[in-house]
Amino acid sequence: MIRVRFQDVFAVMITVSVRKDLPMLHLSRRPRSLNSAGARTRYDGLLLLSLLGALWQMPARAAESAVVLPAPAIDAPAPTGESSQTAVLAGGCFWGVQAVFQHTKGVTQALSGYAGGAKETAKYEIVSSGRTGHAESVQITFDPWQISYGKILQIYFSVAHDPTQLNRQGPDVGTEYRSAIFYQDENQKKVAQAYIAQLDKARVFKRPIVTQVNQLAGFYPAEDYHQDYATLHPYQPYILYNDRPKVENLKQVFADIYRDQPVLVTVAGR
């Protein structure tokens, strides 16, 4: 039996739109609080409807294939003694992107946070306004002896998000959900730009890639309640519908580097 707590429907809103072939139920996050008893009561019906809607849509969503991509023709240089590097990537809601890389071998930490704006505005309620310049991002710490920066990008473009959606990702709309790579040195910039050009030339996506490639000015960790969210709230409707399929696609497409036990921020002791 699936148990669902009121907390697990944190910031979920149902919006309904109609496609040509069938009605589609969308689940999107909004910065709302359900801490009070009154709020929990008001959202009782929403919880049940959103969960049922997510479960109803899940089989079709989970059956969709990930985009199988070629490996980057140009990758970062082989490591020279260093055992840890970082990559900062934005691809919509950080819950799902974090979950994907937490299940990737060679990754030692995947930390949800904000990049692209100022330190003073790196707070969820402010970032959600869409006026801070920040994008919800994930800082991925990895062992370059086990996984390369290019492989990280291959996973990012293949299963972590859709790089052809401009200033949105699925049901979440706004510049804070944009697709962006924040490079930390010239090698990362070169690999990212070359890989985007390679994928566009191969026309592996139906639409052009809109991923931005920007220099990282700063990364600011998100609030504690955002960390490990997909693992801590596996039956939250948004996670069921939007993020669990990403992890399943990682398992199918990148079986050789998939890890069943995620590396969690709380375990790492941030």
Q: Which residues are catalytic?
A: 93
Task: Report how far residue 156's alpha carbon sits from residue 147's, in angstroms, rounded to the nearest whole number.
Answer: 13
Residues in Cβ contact with 67 at an 8 Å cutoff, skipping those fewer than 6 apart:
157, 158, 159, 204, 205
Could you tell me whether strands 172-173 and 12-18 are parallel, antiparallel, or unpaired per DSSP bridges? unpaired
Task: Report how far residue 237's alpha carbon sits from residue 221's, in angstroms, rounded to the nearest whole number.
Answer: 24
Selection from 95, 71, 82, 69 nearest residue 12 by Cα: 95
Residues in Cβ contact with 257 at an 8 Å cutoff, skipping those fewer than 6 apart:
104, 105, 106, 147, 151
